[in-house]
Structure 1
Amino acid sequence: MSTLTEQTASNLRQRYDELLAEQPKLRIRDAALALQVSEAELVALDCGDSVTRLSVDNWSEFVKELKPLGRVMVLTRNEHCVHEKTGEYENIAAHGGKIGLVTGKVIDLRLFYDEWDLAFAVESKGRDGASLRSFQVFDAAGQAIHKVYLKNETGLDAYQAIVEKYRSIDQSTEQIVGSAPALEEDQPVSEATAKSFLDGWSQLKDTHDFYPLLGKHKVSRLQSMVLAEGRFTQKVSNDTAKRVLELASERGISIMVFVGNEGAIQIHTGPVNKIVGYGEWINVIDPDFNLHLKEPGIVSSWIVEKPTVDGVVHSLEIYDNQGRIIAQFFGARKPGIEERQDWRDLVAELKA
């Protein structure tokens, strides 16, 4: 990944414009990949015009400012999956300033502020020509973490107030970014560690206890799938995510869909209705929920069982070629309630 210490913003502007002239429908993330720069560097090219660089010292407080925006579309993605929800920021909480929690009737987020580094207010045109106003957050390498799009005119005053409050003195078109951190290689797991880990898995009381269990034994998520195969996990074909969406749609099953990156996890809870395939992508196109899953990015898929005080909870987890989780699918449920029978029936079919 290059930075603007090596090339001027004006040179990048020219290259970007030439690329868009050749491919006018190219999305900014794909343009960044083609130009071998970060998305944040391309966004910053319009600072002082349609983009305002923001200066944020306290991300937890910044997120609280989003509540008065009213109806918004929030977007969180990784390389292979895009998750979009339209609703309102309702209940906003912070844990030690490093973790944020947003819960409500529609928008459900887990935010990891240590990864948040850059923010911009962006005004652009949608494909239908309508004005789009958004806040866009990036990590130190210029990779997108979370975006918030205004979906109503009544929130415009609140949007402008946030822009003015956090406007940076620096509105240059150059954006310096660092390199994306290298992925940590999985370390071999001894028999003793594997046994201890699986014993801990068998004693889980809540699905939220799984992540600390991984950390305690220094086991990666994908390693855990392999270690538990035949006991708590079962490898399934890589079209299983598509089948989950299609079957949930056909049968009216409410599900949970988790998609995230290092800085944010976004959750949909409810039905999925309109499932559409387009090229490499399987898509959910519903009024308040859109999902875009790039099927060739899925390298392994696993049915997972976790014991809890409410009974066994089943999920589908899908991974990419670097061992990173792309998405998770559960039956819709809340703590204290047993897993849905229609979801269990669906999982049983997938396992068979």
Structure 2
Amino acid sequence: MTQAPTAAEIRQARLDNPKTRDRDLADQLGISEAELVAAHVGHTATRIDPHPDQLMSQVSRLGEVMALTRNVSAVHERKGTYGEYRAGLHASMVLGKEIDLRIFPKYWVHGFAIEEQTEKGLRRTLQVFDAAGDAVHKIYMRDGSNHDAWDEVVAELKLDDQSETISVDPRQPTEAARENPEKRDVLLAEWAKMTDTHQFNRLAAKLGMNRLGAYRMVSGERWVRPLETGAVETFLNAVSAAKQPVVLFVGNKGNIQIHWGTLDNIKPMGPWLNVLDERFNLHLRGDRVAEVYAIEKPTKRGPAVSVELFDAEGGLICQIFGQRADEDDDLAVWHGLVADLPTLQEQVPA
């Protein structure tokens, strides 16, 4: 087994590769991103309390920042100010027009405040990682942020333990599609009775399946239409051209970040499909999209229709719903955009 690099060796690798992203450099070194950051404690990083109950009570003092949540296939960046925080034992929320989060606190395990000099000047960030050392949520200070509050916020969150090494757990693999063919008819019957989209995960779990497994089991039925994966870019462009506001979710085990609004500036770059708007950026790895579905779920306000993207491991990359422009909006434009997407001709094997 190759011996893990020391903190000093990690810092030297960072100096030798100044333009390499933390996640990529960590992969090259055979360590987690959190271990890479921890090696800089006492230099450019400070260990802080990662729990959202403590963190979110301080972050709003920083004014307008950039919130970032990612998974292996998509990055969601939103500018704004952290507003109302609602704590919960198993799930918490940040509610706001711009920064809107669904937080799962047990995954907020390691936290750091980072100050580092870059080609563009001093960069200040707060970063949270899970037990495996993978990024859960990051908060970037901007030029217009309240930098005067930074030192006080970091001091308030600073932990007594300021060691430059951390222990991480093995990374848990993405759960593959889990089906239960014996419950297929029950799934369809219960699906038709739903009145809220949030009921779906509980339904799938009760029947011994997960989201992707449920979709595959009833693919081609009324509620689930498999789509051509190559249509994602065309779809984003169509949504942009129609100026159709959306509700776009990108998440990981510990956090889901939500964008409300239009997608104005679509820019493909290599394997990446990008939305580069003034207040919102999405970076989506188009080459990692393995399955795409148009999903309908009945609700009290009418059908909730989404486009959902999965990677080859079965991980949910993102979900996109139509957003009503006002109370009278019946989402006819959104439904038409989704209906125009090409159906996958070959079914995904179970």
TM-score normalised according to structure 1 size: 0.91
* Cα separation, 2, equivalents of 1:16 and 1:154: 27
Does the 8 Å CA contact 1:234/1:351 hold for their aligned counterparts? no
Structure 2 letter corresponding to 1:239: G
- What is the CA distance between 1:244 and its match in structure 2? 2.1
Closer, same or farther in 2 for the Cα pair 1:298/1:309, shift >3 Å? same
Structure 1 residue aligned with 2:113: 121
Render the CA deviation track for 1:219-240: whole Å, top value 9, x for unaligned: 1111111112122111111123
State the identity as a percent.
Answer: 36
- What is the CA distance between 1:30 and its match in structure 2? 1.1
Give 3-state SS (helix, strand or coil) of 1:203's partner.
coil
List gaps (5 residues or longer) in structure 2.
344-350
Render the CA deviation track for 1:40-98: whole Å, top value 9, x for unaligned: 11111211121111134x43232122112110100000001000000111121122x33
Structure 2 residue aligned with 1:90: 83
Does the 8 Å CA contact 2:179/2:210 hold for their aligned counterparts? no
- What is the CA distance between 1:137 and its match in structure 2? 0.3
Does the 8 Å CA contact 1:142/1:177 hold for their aligned counterparts? yes
- Structure 1 residue 14 corresponds to structure 2 residue 12: yes
- What is the CA distance between 1:142 and its match in structure 2? 0.6
Structure 1 letter corresponding to 2:85: I
Structure 1 letter corresponding to 2:98: V
- What is the CA distance between 1:152 and its match in structure 2? 4.5
Render the CA deviation track for 1:228-256: whole Å, top value 9, x for unaligned: 21221111111232222111111111111
1:44-123 equivalent positions in 2, closer than 5 A = 44-56=38-50, 58-95=51-88, 97-123=89-115
Structure 2 residue aligned with 1:226: 216
Selected match of 1:243 from 213, 234, 242: 234
TM-score normalised according to structure 2 size: 0.91
Structure 2 residue aligned with 1:215: 205
Structure 1 residue aligned with 2:19: 25
Higher mean displacement: 298-307 or 332-341: 332-341
Give 3-state SS (helix, strand or coil) of 1:304's partner.
strand
Closer, same or farther in 2 for the Cα pair 1:227/1:161, shift >3 Å? same
Structure 2 residue aligned with 1:269: 260
Does the 8 Å CA contact 1:259/1:267 hold for their aligned counterparts? yes
Closer, same or farther in 2 for the Cα pair 1:150/1:247, shift >3 Å? same
Structure 1 residue aligned with 2:164: 173
Structure 2 letter corresponding to 1:10: A
* Cα separation, 2, equivalents of 1:113 and 1:310: 31
Structure 2 letter corresponding to 1:50: T
Does the 8 Å CA contact 1:310/1:338 hold for their aligned counterparts? no
Does the 8 Å CA contact 1:122/1:134 hold for their aligned counterparts? yes
* Cα separation, 2, equivalents of 1:187 and 1:275: 34
Structure 2 residue aligned with 1:347: 338
RMSD: 2.2
- Aligned pair count? 342
Structure 1 residue aligned with 2:321: 330
Selected match of 1:293 from 284, 293, 306: 284
* Cα separation, 2, equivalents of 1:158 and 1:69: 6
* Cα separation, 2, equivalents of 1:338 and 1:217: 34
Closer, same or farther in 2 for the Cα pair 1:337/1:66, shift >3 Å? farther
- What is the CA distance between 1:170 and its match in structure 2? 2.5
